[in-house]
Amino acid sequence: MRRKLIAGNWKMNGSLAANADLLASIKAGLPGSACDVAVCAPAIYLAQAKAELSGTAIAWGGQDVSVHESGAYTGEISAAMLRDVGCRYAIVGHSERRSYHNESDEVVALKASRALASELTPIICVGELLAEREAGKTDEVVARQINAILNVLDEESLKSIVVAYEPVWAIGTGKTATPQMAQDVHALLRQRLAAKSAVAAEKVRILYGGSMKPDNAKELLSMPDIDGGLIGGASLKASDFLAIINAA
């Protein structure tokens, strides 16, 4: 049985004061240990997350990681630095990075490897654009994206990843994949994982992301291959985030 994971992706939102309020409310309202919970904060606030969340059941993570280990890469943040401020997770390959920063499948795979090498759990995002879904190419696109990961990770590393299926047309739009649409892609992803390692396929958590909200979370999370959520907008409001955690 895979333990569900609800991870917030704050994106480029927050401030010291707003984060303190949000984290205090989440901590106060957190139910018993029914599922794993994490917040992926802007890098500049990860030290604050560490200060506020150490010793609680809430983990924290970065939203990206450099392909480089260290050195003359102005503005970059390494996996070792994320680990240094106590991160457990790092999102890699979010569609906003793939599209606004031209991250290829290969770059995303390298970032996942860097994260793993620093003992971070990469949350590897995959998902199709609206035009790709409409052209009937969803399976082809997500298979290509996951294959790039399977090509570089060995079986042992594969067991430590988290995958997030985020249909790009559902992110921040209020449109959600139906539970069955999401389940179909999750099952395909698990099948791809199984082709490399049956053990990893059984173990790896596949999150759904894209306008997951309190009112649709329960249905999505009841599907057999949906093992949690990567939550954008609704993770910025403690009551919504807590409602999703409760649904898990």
Just list the catalytic residues.
94, 166
Q: Decide: residue 180, CB within 10 A, 0-12 exposed, 13-18 middle, 19+ buried.
A: exposed
Nearer to ligand PGA, 170 or 200 (CB): 170
Residues 62 and 219: their CA atoms lie apart, in Å, by 28
Under the binding rule (CB under 6 A), the answer on residue 220 touching ligand PGA is no
Q: Among 230, 245, 247, 248, which residue sits at the site for ligand PGA (rule: CB under 6 A)? A: 230
**CA gap 55, 204 in Å, rounded:** 25
Query: And the tokens for 211?
Result: 């306008």
Closest chain position to ligand PGA (CB): 232
Closest approach of ligand PGA to the CB of residue 231, in Å: 5
Which of 14, 93, 122, 233 forms a contact with ligand PGA (CB under 6 A)? 233
Task: Extract the tokens encoding 73.
Answer: 């890469």
Binding segment (CB under 6 A) for ligand PGA, from list 52-60, 155-163, 208-216, 239-247: 208-216
**How many chain residues interact with ligand PGA (CB under 6 A)?**
13
Decide: is 211 part of the binding site for ligand PGA (CB under 6 A): yes
Count CB neighbours of 60 within 10 A.
28
167 counts as binding ligand PGA under rule CB under 6 A: no
Distance (Å) of CA 65 to CA 160, 176, 244 = 17, 27, 27
Interaction site with ligand PGA (CB under 6 A): 9, 166, 171-172, 209-212, 230-234
